[in-house]
Amino acid sequence: MKAFIFPGQASQYVGMGQDLYDKFALAREYFDKADDILGLDLKDTCFHGPEDKLIRTEYTQPAIFVHSVIIDALLKDAGIIPAIAAGHSLGEYSALVSAGVFTFEAGLRAVKLRSQLMQKCCDDNPGTMAAIVGLTFEQVKAVVDSIDGVSPANYNSPDQVAITGTIQGVETACAKLKTAGAKRTIMLAVSGAYHSPLMAYAKEKLAEYLDTAEFGDFGFPVVANVTGKPVDDPDEMKDLLIEQMTSPVLWYPGIESIHAFGISDFYEIGPGKVLQGLLKRSLDSGKYTSRGVDKAEHVNDLIGVKV
């Protein structure tokens, strides 16, 4: 059995998806449809940049979502189907399309709104994030709980936690976390405090949209960011997607849940290798295998293999 894991923001790169568009009719259909739904020049921005445009939240989120869902659909058409899926933040929407909860079109419309709302929060309430290496989630939380405007954002691996909040608050937290024993504190190149109370407006407006959205039945479970546990109930997942906006992403507990599910074979579906890197920090090397499925050549390699 295998798990599909889907990346979130920071996995994008200029040129992403162009080889898929050139080689697969399905990719051309999805990219062209995405441009129509979004009212953006997404395809051209993915293929040609510039990078400072692609890294804007309103472009980044749809770009990664479309790229991931195309690869997922190509593998499904070849009979390569996971037993369980998970997605990191934005990637949770890709995972839900994979599980059949959203159609491509419905998922993209939700991602479009999510990215626009988050961009507005970034513009109205500037914030930032930092990666903390060398401390546990509990150790990081104990420090940042005493600092106004800062909270944990991502529990990525046993010794890597991202924090989020106001610029001053995150800078103060980094100094205190170094004193507490952090090996490294790395300010991240982001324009907002994702998964923090500064996203409250986005959470409120997304809730209004998702309350009226149609969720289908799960073809297989999806591990939720908010709980780190498998979910297969549409109503529960709707609530968790809303909570995800201001709650930390419990990625490492989610990976543990997948492993406990009996899965040792992970496919990272979409751009980059971020999630494979987190797997290396989270599981013993002899207990799992992983591969990235990012480019047309990776898809062709898998389609040619009987699974």
Catalytic residue positions, numbered: 89, 195
The amino acid that residue 85 corresponds to is A
Give the C-alpha separation, 73 to 67, whole Å. 10
Instruction: List the beta bridge partners of residue 180.
Output: none
Output the CA angle 274-275-279, nearest 5 degrees.
125
Give the C-alpha separation, 82 to 4, whole Å. 6
Helix or strand (DSSP H, E) at 105? helix 104-124
β-strands 289-293, 128-133 pairing: unpaired
From edge to edge, which strands make up the β-sheet containing 289-293? 230-231, 222-223, 84-87, 2-6, 265-269, 289-293
Give the C-alpha separation, 201 to 205, whole Å. 6
Beta strand extents in 114-236 (DSSP E only): 128-133, 150-157, 160-165, 184-187, 222-223, 230-231
Whole-number Cα distances in Å, 261 to 212, 229, 264, 296, 302: 32, 10, 9, 30, 23
Q: Is the distance from CB of 65 to CB of 108 less than 8 angstroms?
A: yes
